[in-house]
Amino acid sequence: MSPDKFIIEKAQAAVSSLFGAALPETSFQVQVTRKEFEGDYTLVVFPLLKISKLSPEATGQAIGEWLKSNTDEIAGYNTVKGFLNLSFSNSYWNSLFSSIADDENFGQLPPTGKTIMVEFSSPNTNKPLHLGHIRNNLLGWSVSRLLEANGHKVMKVNLVNDRGIHICKSMLAWLKTGNGETPESSGKKGDHLVGDYYVAFNDIYKKEVDELTAGGMSKEEAEKNAPSLKEAQEMLLKWEQGDPEVVALWKKMNSWVYDGFAKTYADLGISFDRTYYESQTYLLGKALVQKGLEMGIFETEADGSVWCDLTADGLDRKLLLRGDGTSVYITQDLGTAEQRFTEYHLDEHIYVVGNEQNYHFQVLKLILKKLGFDWSDNIYHLSYGMVELPEGKMKSREGTVVDADDLLEKMYNTARETSMELGKIDHMDEAEQDELFRTLSLGALKYFIIKVDPKKTMLFDPKESIDFNGNTGPFIQYTHARIKSILRKAAEKGLELCSVSSEVELSPKEIRLIKLLDMYPDKVAEGGQAHSPAVIANYAYDLAKEFNQYYHDTPILREENQDLLRSRLALLSCVAKVLVKAMDILGIRLPERM
């Protein structure tokens, strides 16, 4: 039992015995004692004064004396105004530590029976994944793992935007300038190759617009009438009509992109339980539009377009079907939401999408609610801010985006250079070095992005992310490797880990570590409730930092008292175990050697 729950249970008994009142758990407030006061945990007694009919100090004194006299675990107490500061006995901390060390499933919360779908990534097939996608993927993956640790059944899904004008632009540029180029003939990853043709289309388009404006046409008119854009629009219409040649080219170029995506996902350690394709779902939702018309919540304009008027709800009018009967994005989202909740009986559907779509999801939930779907309340938009580099923002159409593959390669090279500068690889062969560089580079990238609250815009600096001394993934990875090195040396001396002895006198620093370890399940619950893996990332850093301070001030292998030595080794092993559990939620591996 955690310390706060233990105190509440015993305080309930104290209040019942002293004042003859049976109070619920919610009447008791327990918090960690502030550093300037003596004690481990503090019971706030102000809410109990109506029952005790005593002053705050006298109430705290009475409860403290009862706890000390009736529980072996409470070794002492002091009162400061309305705060009762309690000190636990050494045997209590050893007992708590032993229960953590012996629990292989420590931090895994019990099954809830809930099914949650997390949709993330959702790339377009006209370009490779870029830095923004990396934040999306890492958030989606880590929040999925976090929800699993909270006892939920989680489905990780991807909706690939594989149709539309964007891919037609790449297809058209390839037909005009590609000369039959393929990933095999060019040596390029398929997603990069198709992305190059998207940029090429933009170059063609810009040139045409400039020529039309030079001929006297307004810029707005030129942008609408550029020949290449009209050709791309015609190609999209042919695709929708099932034109064999267009569909064949679409399938071929998309297959190149899928192969490229698969390689990037594998490099990131990302996978999905199911992948949806917009080409198979874009017609969904039209039946819901008809339902909304019949319910009188949608209206048809003179041109045949269908709208939902949300002005009474403080929003705008929303287009659902164009005049020609074609759907828009929200139409599809209405249909896919209904499909998924019906098929999987979801308790929650989480969309990991950038904050530029906040309004879209507000509208989506409201329209679903108006259509009579109460489960719309269980849709959650995990909104996140943009990622910027020291050089500034990125632009896809101009080819200035930092794509994921290039960034992963840069991170690998940075990890190699940093490790070589610090002399951390002299004892490793080439294969071990390669594995370490990949582990460190991914750890640096993932941790640096995930540690920031999702809602915040963030600046990503590759060099800063791989610092072995800061709030970084490599710092935590190095801490784990340091612990494993100590444990290996202990094993070489014939020292085996054993159960913690209640007789061992723990130091204040060891008690602080045990307190931090005990907080892990609560952090899992807190992070899950907030849909924020940043809670786990920063907890792992706090634990690693606390351990390093302990290690700096405390002899381990030089300790002569064998019981104390074994207790400290067990503590190290427990810290390593919890670090592995926490970082696994983030998709980060911790090396055994560095």
Residue 507 in 3-state DSSP? coil
Whether the CB-CB separation of 545 and 579 falls below 8 Å is answered with no
Domain boundary among 88, 105, 130: 88
CA–centroid distance for 145 within its chain: 8
Residues 215 and 146 reside in one and the same domain: yes
Q: What is the pLDDT of residues 465-480, one digit of tens each?
A: 888 888 999 999 999 9
- Per-residue HEC secondary structure of 389-458 comes to ECCECCCCCCCCCCEHHHHHHHHHHHHHHHHHHHCCCCCCCHHHHHHHHHHHHHHHHHHHHHCCCCCCCE
Give the HSE-up count for residue 186: Cα atoms under 13 Å, Cβ half-sphere: 16
Residues 250 and 347 reside in one and the same domain: yes
Residue 400: the pLDDT is 53
Residue 398: the pLDDT is 45
Domain boundary among 48, 67, 88: 88
Residues 377 and 416 reside in one and the same domain: no
Cα–Cα nearest to 445, from 139, 98, 160: 139
Contacts of the segment 454-457: beta carbons below 8 A, 24+ positions apart: 454/139, 454/382, 454/383, 454/384, 454/385, 454/531, 454/532, 454/534, 455/355, 455/383, 455/384, 455/385, 456/385, 457/385, 457/386, 457/387, 457/388
User: Is residue 339 in a domain?
Assistant: yes
Cα–Cα nearest to 512, from 545, 481, 558, 534: 545
Q: What is the rounded CA–CA span in Å between residue 327 and residue 289?
A: 10
Residue-number span of the structural domain to which 424 is assigned: 404-585
What is the number of residues in the chain? Answer: 594
Residues 83 and 128 reside in one and the same domain: no
Residues 354 and 408 reside in one and the same domain: no
- What CATH number is attached to the domain comprising 24? 3.30.1360.70
pTM: 0.91
User: Is residue 259 in a domain?
Assistant: yes
Q: What is the rounded CA–CA span in Å between residue 281 and residue 482?
A: 51
Whether the CB-CB separation of 308 and 318 falls below 8 Å is answered with yes
Q: Max alpha carbon distance in the chain (Å)?
A: 96
Q: What is the rounded CA–CA span in Å between residue 209 and residue 550?
A: 66
User: Is residue 99 in a domain?
Assistant: no
Burial readout 275-306 (b: 16 or more C-beta within 10 A, e: otherwise):
ebbbbebbebbbebbeebeeeeebeeeeeebb
Burial readout 363-397 (b: 16 or more C-beta within 10 A, e: otherwise):
bbbbbbebbebebbebbbbbbbbbbbeeeeebebb
For 564, the enclosing helix (H) or strand (E) is helix 562-585
- What CATH number is attached to the domain comprising 208? 3.40.50.620
Cα–Cα nearest to 4, from 49, 40, 47, 38: 40
- CA separation, residue 155 to residues 90, 152, 181, 331, 470 (Å): 44, 10, 38, 23, 34
DSSP per-residue letters across 15-61 = HHHHH-----GGG-EEEEPPTTSS-SEEEE-GGGHHHH-S-HHHHHH
User: Is residue 394 in a domain?
Assistant: no
Amino acid identity of 304?
G
Whether the CB-CB separation of 90 and 506 falls below 8 Å is answered with yes
Q: What is the rounded CA–CA span in Å between residue 39 and residue 60?
A: 14
Residues 422 and 568 reside in one and the same domain: yes
Whether the CB-CB separation of 580 and 590 falls below 8 Å is answered with yes
Pairing of strands 115-119, 153-160: parallel
Pairing of strands 306-309, 299-300: antiparallel
Amino acid identity of 42?
T
Residues 126 and 264 reside in one and the same domain: yes
How many domains does the chain contain in total? 3
Domain boundary among 88, 112, 129: 88
Residues 564 and 418 reside in one and the same domain: yes
Phi, psi of 397 (to 5 degrees): -65, -25
Residue 396: the pLDDT is 44
Residues 368 and 464 reside in one and the same domain: no
Residue 399: the pLDDT is 46
Residues 157 and 219 reside in one and the same domain: yes
User: Is residue 102 in a domain?
Assistant: no
Assigned token pair, 162: 């594989």
For 387, the enclosing helix (H) or strand (E) is strand 387-388
Going 36 to 39 to 42 to 43, the CA torsion angle's sign is negative
User: Is residue 109 in a domain?
Assistant: no
Residues 418 and 343 reside in one and the same domain: no
Whether the CB-CB separation of 160 and 434 falls below 8 Å is answered with no
Whether the CB-CB separation of 32 and 17 falls below 8 Å is answered with no
User: Is residue 475 in a domain?
Assistant: yes
Whether the CB-CB separation of 320 and 331 falls below 8 Å is answered with yes
Residues 381 and 416 reside in one and the same domain: no
User: Is residue 55 in a domain?
Assistant: yes
Residue 394: the pLDDT is 45
> What residues of the chain score a pLDDT lower than 70?
391-401, 424, 497-502
Q: Alpha-carbon Rg of the chain, whole angstroms?
A: 30
